[in-house]
Structure 1
């Protein structure tokens, strides 16, 4: 237990775990939550580090199931490769746990570099996992197979993001997707991991049909796949609603731009409203940042006409839109960025505030939901809105 992750008390805040628990104090010891509420009161005379949460909510740190920690892009040539993530990018966005992935480019971006970056972020205080593979099938792996990567490499929790229904995809056959999903599933079973297949979904007319074909022709469940970018268009959103009504879990991308919205992107808050109105449970929805990915715009011939970068603060922005603008209850709006992705990734100590859970938490000002403090693995990373821990090159 290092000196900066000893014992910490957060006083005065209203707790959402993500379910509302009322105004309670929290004690963290090392990297875990040690006590909640009355059990903390007897420790007030001890020389503990304290964070004031007056007029604030205390919520779990965000769990980001898809981010490009080493950068992404490249669709417009070498100069359009996006920069890698820095520690403070995640901290200022409230993200304390993430899963890094490769995307379109698995040539100049590599799995060894991805794994090294994940370990660097871990050493700097966050929690970071990875997907093996990338857009293309057959997938590139670190060891001989997807199954070996998931079983033998501690940071790998699944495979992705594998592209379907996209002109950048390798257009995998039903047989190829079935074999890939089977390998990931068994690897996850053997290692006690999620073994999930994160699916990049493009805007081609096939939409989620390749995944439905796999399930119809195999013994694999729909939940083996985790399709993302479902808010890319109204047609894809409807396909996502159908997918969820059959029992699947769908992911919306929080990073967007005015240009992409004008071209058809649906902000997460509107997409969430639509799926709930269709009778889909909020437990079947997650949001991810797609942080540091390229956000490209293509013309009808597939030529790049614009590109921006996914933002790590997009989950926080989306939370504000859901609660402050759309009127969602805070506990409901937190589920897609805390508990739901943690359960999807089989990370039982993440995405919630409870005794024994990891000490990842955010203190948000009630009026604006601005970040006041961030604690990751028991270590204060942001205090009074300012980073107190920085990465080596921040």
Structure 2
């Protein structure tokens, strides 16, 4: 297929102005002015008038419980698998799946199978090996082997620290884990990151600071999420990002305010990403650690908060989009994702002034039209 998107206002995520986008097969091959006659005579070619629409890269969500999560309240609290229609409705074209608290009744085989199913449905997928637990549970027996030998594994996570649900690993154990993932990344050309779940305990990011200060750990190998639990944790995340690590905010109703606070604290925006935690549980515990409430995270929150961030004083749409496109692609070493440019995958959203997705493509395939998903899972 050849698709010409004509006259969209392009944010790649940097603003390029009004441009045409040429898609051939699964890739973007040109951005600029393209004469219509250059494609109209080609077989299976289509020309789409995108004037008045904004073209942005498909979102990358680096933290999704694609096979479900939860379970902190017992077997009945296990959350369901995610639906591909829910993913694409939120403008997401690439997801990274992870296990969470439960690495016992949920397996990496399930996670890998679900990732392959979602990719067959029409989006791009990757996964983390491991879970909250240290030592990490894996598919092959070791983290380094999983990263090197399994195509979809790009790192290990989400490893829990500063949380009652953590397995309370020593800093030495964390250093070993991060090193295994990092070396696996070096050998396979992948990110080799370690994705850390950060809980509300007073130690906050202290274990990760010690990793970077006391061990020969590459800072880009450290990727910490859930950094908005408190003002103190957010300030700690600013300090960690200054050392070269990537930090991530879980999208919620106040994410734009948290981004504003991060900026005011001097945080490096190029080291910040947003994620949804979709289909993971959002448990609420009392002071004694008893579960008193439970909700399920939704991917649509991520989409909504990106546009909220774009309205912040001193912040523009390019910076807001980078939090879910180019920044995430850089953190996960996905050079073919997160940008609208020649050679990148044709993951493109076309939105109107009300931020409705009028058209969306994943690797050149139409996945959303007029806000409605055009792909669904087998059993939807």
TM range (shorter): over 0.9
SS class of match (2:179): helix
Shift of 1:52: 3.4
1 CA distance for matches of 2:139 and 2:46? Answer: 42
Q: Which residue of 2 aligns with 1:38?
A: 33
Which residue of 287, 301, 304 maps to 2:288? 301
Which residue of 244, 250, 255 maps to 1:247? 244
Q: Which residue of 2 aligns with 1:284?
A: 271
1 CA distance for matches of 2:48 and 2:101? Answer: 42
Shift of 1:328: 3.0
User: How many residue pairs were aligned?
Assistant: 378
SS class of match (1:96): strand
* TM-score, with structure 2 as normaliser: 0.96
Deviates more, 1:40-49 or 1:215-224: 40-49
Consecutive unaligned residues of structure 2, counting only runs of 5 or more, are none
Which residue of 104, 108, 124 maps to 1:107? 104
Which residue of 4, 7, 25 maps to 1:12? 7
- Asked whether 1:336 is paired with 2:317, we answer no
Q: Using a 3 Å threshold, how does the CA distance of structure 1 residues 314 and 389 change in structure 2: closer, same or farther?
A: same
1 CA distance for matches of 2:355 and 2:5? Answer: 17
- Asked whether 1:186 is paired with 2:183, we answer yes
- Asked whether 1:64 is paired with 2:61, we answer yes
Shift of 1:106: 0.7
Q: Using a 3 Å threshold, how does the CA distance of structure 1 residues 39 and 53 change in structure 2: closer, same or farther?
A: closer
- Asked whether 1:374 is paired with 2:360, we answer yes
Which residue of 159, 163, 182 maps to 2:160? 163
Q: Using a 3 Å threshold, how does the CA distance of structure 1 residues 40 and 154 change in structure 2: closer, same or farther?
A: farther
Q: Which residue of 2 aligns with 1:347?
A: 334
Consecutive unaligned residues of structure 1, counting only runs of 5 or more, are 1-5, 258-266
Shift of 1:343: 0.6
Residues 293-345 of structure 1, C-alpha deviations (whole Å, 9 max, x = no match): 00111110111111111111122111121124657311111011000000111
Q: Using a 3 Å threshold, how does the CA distance of structure 1 residues 92 and 84 change in structure 2: closer, same or farther?
A: same
1 CA distance for matches of 2:312 and 2:172? Answer: 45
SS class of match (1:337): coil
Shift of 1:233: 1.5
Q: Check conservation: 2:256, 2:312, Cα contact below 8 A.
A: no
Q: Using a 3 Å threshold, how does the CA distance of structure 1 residues 122 and 195 change in structure 2: closer, same or farther?
A: same
2 CA distance for matches of 1:200 and 1:52? Answer: 43
RMSD: 1.4
Deviates more, 1:346-355 or 1:384-393: 384-393
2 CA distance for matches of 1:43 and 1:62? Answer: 30
